[in-house]
Amino acid sequence: MKQLNSNQCFGGQQQQFEHDSQVLNCKMRFSIFLPPQALESNKVPVVYWLSGLTCTDENFVQKAGAQRMAAELGIAIVAPDTSPRGDDVADDDAYDLGKGAGFYLNATQEPWAKHYQMYDYIAYELPALIEAHFPVTDKRAISGHSMGGHGALTIGLRNAPRFKSISAFSPIVSPLHCPWGHKALTAYLGDDQALWVKYDAVELMKKIKDGTSHLPPIKISQGLADNFLEEQLKPHLLENAANEVKYPFEINVHSGYDHSYFFIASFIDEHLRFHAQYLLK
């Protein structure tokens, strides 16, 4: 790993690193906030934050204001990039496909398959790297926004023993039922929608058996002034599926809030306290 930046922040360190990813076949960047407890030789749990379309590892770090509460609670936050990067990485002219739009899945179609293996990177390679090189425990939670909310939900649901809790702001809950999802999943996975279901939180929720134990609880925050709410996000689909299987699920809707980081900054402390219940006990 190569350290790119380090800044003192609320008694901790906000750092940025570059490393070679074997899974993605390219160099990747991630940002990590280490709270003061981690700098005092105490290992701390980690929240993995997945950002949305067009973002990098820096958006959350600079806009969400999460460091203050993370420092108070003693939780590290890891924010990876949203896709592979590099001159030889496939891309598209549109903002919702290619670089900055990895959708946290393992692509099977060309030209994407060589690099776009974001599911394996987030679920396995990156946590292994973080736990090998930083003062953190193997207690993990996962959160995200929009496309990153989709990633947090699907990765968290498919890896329940690995993640203690899941949260999301304005998530894409069902790529099978929205334009963003249809475009991305067709490009990355092909036309067979039977292959799409493992990257659809609603479909994953429907497969959970009623009363299954050790499920990571889910918390969702959604702004009612979000201009993507009706066409792209459709959180009611996940709420209905969760209620059917009696999943530990809560959704909080907020009048007047939109899809921006102003919304995330307003409620990120609430989400971190939610994760702390399961990471720190």
Catalytic residues: 146, 226, 259
Pairing of strands 136-145, 166-169: parallel
For residues 96 and 92, give the distance between their C-alpha atoms in angstroms, rounded to a whole number.
8
Whether the CB-CB separation of 264 and 168 falls below 8 Å is answered with: no
Pairing of strands 12-21, 2-9: antiparallel
Whether the CB-CB separation of 204 and 176 falls below 8 Å is answered with: no
Q: Which of 219, 223, 220, 233 is nearest to 261 (CA)?
A: 223
User: Length of the chain in residues, anyone?
Assistant: 281
- Which amino acid, residue 12? G
Q: How far is the CA of 188 from the CAs of 98, 120, 146, 182, 196, in angstroms?
A: 9, 15, 18, 10, 10
